Amino acid sequence: MLRAIISTIRTIRRNRCSRVGAHAQGHNFDTVGINVTGNFDTERPTAEQLASLERLLVFLCRIYDIEAGVTTIEGHRDVNATDCPGDNLYRLLPQIRRDVKVQTAEKELEDADIWELLKKDR
């Protein structure tokens, strides 16, 4: 399982663990949990957070051959009874999906570049 944390200062931290996580009960064996840090019921995600999120999602879609869509890029509340990720991020998910789908189809992602970001803060 791979978990990623996107902070407010444009960093992506990788957290690989050998145990099944608990980010989404019933969905932890075949998913990636991405934590975008903040209270998005009261705050808005920063442009840097959104850019990092989209970049990570493009990378994951490319390496796992996933098509970005409503069933593949979901908010926590789509699979569990929670308000997460907060209304101010959740309402952006349709645009994030579209952006990721376009970027996955049109652009070559520099795999080494994203791995360098993920290696930071180890």
Do 100 and 64 contact (CB within 8 A), yes or no?
no
Among residues of the chain, what percentage have pLDDT more than 90? 35
Whole-number CA gyration radius for the chain: 14
| pLDDT 10s digits, 103-119 | 888 765 455 566 666 66
Find where tokens 């996580």 sit: 21
| pLDDT 10s digits, 93-105 | 999 999 999 988 8
CA distance 79 to 66: 18
What is residue 19's predicted lDDT score, i.e. its pLDDT? Answer: 57
- Burial class for 51, CB neighbours closer than 10 Å (0-12, 13-18, 19+): middle
Do 24 and 76 contact (CB within 8 A), yes or no?
yes
CA distance 98 to 29: 26
